[in-house]
Homo-oligomer: A and B are copies of this chain.
Amino acid sequence: MSKKPETNTDKWSIFKPLFTQIEVPAKTILLEEGKVSKTMFFIEKGCLRTWINNNGKDITTQFFFEGGGVSSIESFMTNKPSLYTIESIEPCIIQTITQKDFQDTLKNSTELRDSIVEHLYMRLLKNQQIFFSYLKNTPQQRYEELLAQNPEIIQRIPQHYIASYLGITSVSLSRIRNRR
């Protein structure tokens, strides 16, 4: 659960002078579950996922693509440990900004602070929507919903990540896909 893949680049363009660009290979951990987030990421090229550890197996909770801003904002802003890990799926080009630079910028801009609050309400709603869709639908329905609404995820992401994202095993997802 992180930001939605909107055109955050415009919204956050005020930070551009403070960005540091990094390039990372696939499967690079950018933030580890349990650690405090000190960096915020904006994806220039590639894709990321967030996941939580469950008895050694990981459960993917969200995917992020080009133009997306990714951070454990709750952790980044409150200095509490992040509940999830952020990891690259593909080789990525990423813009990063430090907690310090971010908060300095925040200090000088009421509008920015307001827009963060606005952003928080949106995230709250978004999180609820995702959760409620979980409560309402079967794995099969969630897969079909994903296929209809985010086909790029199905096309681009390895299936076992999608399986855990849907809350099922990769075996079960394979069955669902070949069911009809």
Interface residues of A (CB under 8 A from B): 1, 52, 54, 59, 61, 73-74, 77-78, 80, 83-84, 116-118, 120-121, 123-125, 127-132, 134-136, 167
Other A-B contacts than A59-B135, A83-B125, A134-B134, 19 sampled, CB-CB below 8 A, are A1-B128, A54-B135, A54-B136, A73-B124, A74-B121, A74-B124, A74-B128, A78-B125, A83-B129, A83-B132, A84-B132, A116-B117, A117-B120, A120-B120, A124-B124, A124-B127, A127-B127, A127-B128, A131-B134
- Contact: A135 with B83, CB < 8 Å? no
- Contact: A77 with B121, CB < 8 Å? yes
**Number of identical protomers:** 2
A61 to B128, CA, bound (A): 10
Listed by A's residue number, 29 A-B pairs whose Cβ atoms lie within 8 Å are A1-B131, A52-B132, A52-B136, A54-B135, A59-B135, A59-B136, A61-B132, A61-B135, A73-B124, A74-B121, A74-B124, A74-B125, A78-B118, A78-B121, A83-B125, A83-B128, A83-B129, A84-B128, A84-B132, A116-B117, A120-B121, A123-B124, A124-B124, A124-B127, A127-B128, A127-B131, A130-B131, A131-B131, A135-B167
